[in-house]
Structure 1
Amino acid sequence: MDLGIRGKTALVTASSGGMGRNIAHALAAEGVNLALFARSADKLQAIAQEIEAQHGVRALAIRGSMLSRSDVDNLVRRLQTEFSGVDIAVLNTGRPPNPIRATVEETEEERWTEAYQSQLWGTIQVVSQLTPQMMTRGWGRIIAVTSASVKAPMPHHSLSTVFRAGVTAYMKHLANEVGTKGITVNCVAPALIETPHRAGSAAYTPEQAAARKKLTPLGRMGTQQELTGVVTFLASMQAGFITGATVPVDGGMVSSLF
């Protein structure tokens, strides 16, 4: 299927590895030019070169933090200068503070502040600066990567759930405001997805891996390709009538009707 986005430009945040890197590759495979944004300049540049070599698109590495206003301002300037703006924005973020704890044990203000900034504020800061560009262009796709925990809170995930639920609410409000400008705004809520830091024996014992697989009716973990495929579809022309939605990619783990 031709997704109709060849030649478009996408920004992927937190794209120096893991899920962000894989999303960038999936979009590049559809002929999308990439702006990669993360704090690790060396890793980012290596991935940009990797994408250009494998997919024949342009990939620009822009070092910066989603939490820094000056870095985000520089990002927006570079997007305008290098690509005349951006068409697709995928908002991926880092993880909340470790180790994860029970909610009643989350009493440290520093951990709540860090989680708020990394999970919610960084996303808002980037989106609020990019949206006017998209409105001028009259077309856009904004996709935030959240978590299935926003639909069914998981144990020991309150630092993530609280602020990713905030992202979900922000994106719903934004979808209601920019739809007439040709922009769709959606969230993807993954769970039980195999990621590089989970692969191999260092991540889970056999017993832990078996227990996680039982959380989904499919009886297995999801693949990165299954997640990136959903993100890529939401960026497509065919997804133009989907907005304000949260799409779970959790193998049926969340058992609610809605």
Structure 2
Amino acid sequence: MDLRIKGKIALVTASSGGMGRNIAHALAAEGANIALFARSAEKLAEVAAEIERSYGVRALPIVGDMTSTEDTARLASTLEREMGGTDIVILNTARPPNPIRTTIDENDPNRWKEAYDNQLLSVIQVVSAVLPGMTQRGWGRVVAVTSASVKQPMPHHSLSTVFRAGVTAYMKHLANEVGQHGITVNCVAPALIDTSHRNSAAAYSASQTEARKRLTPLGRLGTQEEISSVVTFLASVQAGFINGATVPVEGGMVGSLY
């Protein structure tokens, strides 16, 4: 299927590695030109080179912090100057502080502030900076990567659930306000996605992986390609009548009807 985004400009945040990098690759494979935004200049340059070499599109690395008003303002001005603005915004954010803890043990204000800054404030900062330009152009797609825990809270995930639920509410309000400008706003809520690519404490252990596989009727973890493909579809022309929705990508883990 041709998603009809060839030549569109897609901004992907937190795209120096992991899910953000994979989403950037998926959009580039559809012919979109990519703006990469993250804090690591070296890693961003590597991803940009990968994308340009693999797909023949433009990839612009922009170094900055999603939680910084100054950096997100510079992001918006750079996008306008270098790429004529952006058509698609993918809001990928940092993970909550590690290690994860039970809710009653999440009593450190610094951890709560870090989670708020990285997962909710960061989204608001980027949207506030780039959305005015999108409304002037009269077309756009905004997709936030949240978590299935906003529909079915998972043990030890309160730091993530609280603020990703906030992102979901923010995006719903935004969808109601900017649809008149031809912009759709949606969320993708993943869970049980394979993290074997991570070389960090955030990766699942073998026992955690097996336990997580049993949480879905499919009996396996989801792939990075499966989550990236859903995000990319929501960025497409064909997804133009999906607005204010949260699309779960969790293999049937969530037990509710809605």
Cα deviations across residues 9-49 of structure 1 (Å, max 9, x unaligned)? 00000000000000000000000000000000000001101
Partners of 2:18 and 2:198 within 8 A in 1: no
| Counterpart for residue 187 of structure 1 | 187
Matched, 1:70 2:83: no
| Counterpart for residue 158 of structure 1 | 158
The DSSP-based 3-state class of the residue aligned with 1:2 is coil
Report the alpha carbon displacement of residue 209 of structure 1 after superposing the two structures with TM.
2.0
Report the alpha carbon displacement of residue 255 of structure 1 after superposing the two structures with TM.
1.0
| Counterpart for residue 134 of structure 1 | 134
| Counterpart for residue 40 of structure 1 | 40
Instruction: Please give the alpha-carbon distance, in whole angstroms, between the structure 2 residues aligned to 1:155 and 1:238.
Output: 36
Matched, 1:24 2:24: yes
The DSSP-based 3-state class of the residue aligned with 1:6 is coil
Q: Provide the aligned C-alpha RMSD in A.
A: 1.5
Report the alpha carbon displacement of residue 199 of structure 1 after superposing the two structures with TM.
7.9
Report the alpha carbon displacement of residue 213 of structure 1 after superposing the two structures with TM.
0.5
Instruction: Please give the alpha-carbon distance, in whole angstroms, between the structure 1 residues aligned to 2:141 and 2:84.
Output: 16
| Counterpart for residue 234 of structure 1 | 234
The DSSP-based 3-state class of the residue aligned with 1:37 is strand
Partners of 2:196 and 2:203 within 8 A in 1: no
What amino acid does structure 1 have at the position aligned with 2:149? S
Report the alpha carbon displacement of residue 211 of structure 1 after superposing the two structures with TM.
1.3
Change (3 A) 1:123 1:21: same
Report the alpha carbon displacement of residue 207 of structure 1 after superposing the two structures with TM.
3.2
| Counterpart for residue 254 of structure 1 | 254
| Counterpart for residue 171 of structure 2 | 171
| Counterpart for residue 244 of structure 2 | 244
Partners of 1:10 and 1:90 within 8 A in 2: yes
Cα deviations across residues 210-242 of structure 1 (Å, max 9, x unaligned)? 211110000000001110000000000000000
Instruction: Please give the alpha-carbon distance, in whole angstroms, between the structure 2 residues aligned to 1:256 and 1:129.
Output: 36
Report the alpha carbon displacement of residue 129 of structure 1 after superposing the two structures with TM.
1.3
User: What residue ranges of structure 2 are gaps of 5+ in the alignment?
Assistant: none
Instruction: Please give the alpha-carbon distance, in whole angstroms, between the structure 2 residues aligned to 1:250 and 1:21.
Output: 20
Number of residues paired by the alignment? Answer: 258
Instruction: Please give the alpha-carbon distance, in whole angstroms, between the structure 1 residues aligned to 2:211 and 2:162.
Output: 25
Partners of 2:147 and 2:190 within 8 A in 1: yes
Partners of 2:146 and 2:164 within 8 A in 1: yes
Change (3 A) 1:180 1:190: same
Report the alpha carbon displacement of residue 208 of structure 1 after superposing the two structures with TM.
2.6
| Counterpart for residue 148 of structure 1 | 148
Task: Using structure 1 for the length normalisation, give the TM-score.
Answer: 0.97
User: What residue ranges of structure 1 are gaps of 5+ in the alignment?
Assistant: none
What amino acid does structure 2 have at the position aligned with 1:124? I
Matched, 1:55 2:52: no
| Counterpart for residue 99 of structure 1 | 99
Change (3 A) 1:3 1:251: same
| Counterpart for residue 123 of structure 1 | 123
The DSSP-based 3-state class of the residue aligned with 2:238 is coil
The DSSP-based 3-state class of the residue aligned with 1:51 is helix
Cα deviations across residues 65-123 of structure 1 (Å, max 9, x unaligned)? 00111111110001000111100000000111111100001111111111100010011
Instruction: Please give the alpha-carbon distance, in whole angstroms, between the structure 1 residues aligned to 2:111 and 2:206.
Output: 31
Report the alpha carbon displacement of residue 205 of structure 1 after superposing the two structures with TM.
4.3
Partners of 2:196 and 2:204 within 8 A in 1: no
What amino acid does structure 2 have at the position aligned with 1:116? Y
Task: Using structure 2 for the length normalisation, give the TM-score.
Answer: 0.97
Instruction: Please give the alpha-carbon distance, in whole angstroms, between the structure 1 residues aligned to 2:112 and 2:159.
Output: 7
Instruction: Please give the alpha-carbon distance, in whole angstroms, between the structure 1 residues aligned to 2:231 and 2:209.
Output: 25
Instruction: Please give the alpha-carbon distance, in whole angstroms, between the structure 1 residues aligned to 2:72 and 2:199.
Output: 32
What amino acid does structure 1 have at the position aligned with 2:68? S
Partners of 1:18 and 1:196 within 8 A in 2: no
Change (3 A) 1:86 1:204: closer
